[in-house]
């Protein structure tokens, strides 16, 4: 667990479904998890600051949120388009694009890959959390698309993602919290602009 700036924690864990490390985040004062996996320190790490909410950026990012729900009775929030995919896993609270979520976070539309693909704007921390639309590989600062095999129609999806992220550049943020790859602290907006420019 690494506190990347005051009150915002980042960690990685191997996702059993895909066999690679993915990133998760915890906003301690807000008591909000984003795309959570259980960290190496275990759920006991959260005993002093019990999570109350888990926000999902994508239908595929419930990950181990249900373990947090079992342990802490936290509420799981997902986009309206994710409900059918998550049916039977546990109760969810549905949000629409533009909704204000716990922690004064706003759900922003990305779509393109999945109808529910969401970016989370976190004004208090001047951050934007992204799901599968952009990824970072290793320590390289640049962003890239998720591999083509994870897109149904790559030639249509890629320009649609660029258009979606272009609109998000109007938001106030400088840090990018990525679901796949390490976060970009203070350089996230510039990296996203470079990604859009191609």
Kindly report the CA angle at 117 between 22 and 119, in degrees rounded to 5?
75
Note the pLDDT of residue 86.
80
Bridge partners (DSSP) of residue 55 are 34, 77
Note the pLDDT of residue 82.
83
Residue found by looking up tokens 């909704």 in the block: 99
Tokens of 71: 């342990």
| Res 141 pLDDT > 70 | no
CATH code for the domain in which residue 169 is found: 3.60.15.10
Using an 8 Å Cβ cutoff, are 115 and 162 in contact?
no
Domain region containing 189: 2-197
Note the pLDDT of residue 99.
97
Note the pLDDT of residue 121.
98
Q: How many domains does the chain have?
A: 1
- pLDDT, tens digit (0-9, with 9 covering 90-100), for 172-185: 999 999 999 999 99
| Res 20 pLDDT > 90 | no
- 104 Cβ contact partners less than 8 Å away, ≥ 6 residues apart: 30, 122, 123, 124
- 118 Cβ contact partners less than 8 Å away, ≥ 6 residues apart: 56, 57, 58, 79, 97, 107, 108, 109, 110, 131
Helix (H) or strand (E) holding 163: helix 154-168
* Angstrom distance (rounded) from CA 144 to CA 134: 6
Using an 8 Å Cβ cutoff, are 59 and 114 in contact?
yes
Res. 111 pLDDT band, cuts 50 70 90: confident
Give the rounded percent of residues in the chain with a pLDDT score beyond 70.
Answer: 98
Mean pLDDT over residues 149-153, rounded? 82
Using an 8 Å Cβ cutoff, are 168 and 196 in contact?
no
- 17 Cβ contact partners less than 8 Å away, ≥ 6 residues apart: none
pTM for this structure? Answer: 0.94
* Angstrom distance (rounded) from CA 156 to CA 52: 38
Mean pLDDT over residues 115-131, rounded? 95
- 102 Cβ contact partners less than 8 Å away, ≥ 6 residues apart: 30, 31, 32, 52, 53, 55, 77
């Amino acid at each position: 667990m690494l506190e990347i700036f005051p009150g915002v924690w980042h960690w990685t864990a191997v996702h059993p479904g895909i066999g690679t490390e993915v990133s998760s985040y915890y906003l301690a004062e807000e008591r909000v998890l984003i795309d959570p996996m259980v960290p190496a320190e275990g759920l006991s790490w959260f005993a002093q600051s019990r999570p109350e909410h888990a926000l999902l950026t994508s239908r595929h990012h419930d990950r181990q949120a249900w373990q947090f729900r079992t342990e802490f009775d936290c509420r799981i929030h997902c986009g309206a388009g994710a409900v059918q995919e998550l049916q039977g896993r546990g109760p969810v609270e549905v949000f629409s694009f533009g909704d204000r979520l716990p922690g004064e976070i706003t759900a922003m539309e990305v779509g393109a890959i999945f109808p529910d693909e969401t970016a989370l704007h976190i004004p208090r921390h001047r951050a934007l959390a992204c799901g599968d639309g952009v990824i970072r590989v290793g320590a390289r600062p640049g962003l890239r698309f998720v591999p083509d095999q994870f897109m149904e129609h790559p030639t249509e999806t890629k320009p649609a993602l660029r258009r979606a992220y272009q609109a998000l550049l109007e938001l106030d943020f400088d840090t990018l919290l990525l679901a796949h790859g390490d976060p970009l602290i203070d350089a996230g907006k510039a990296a996203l602009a470079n990604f859009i420019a191609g």
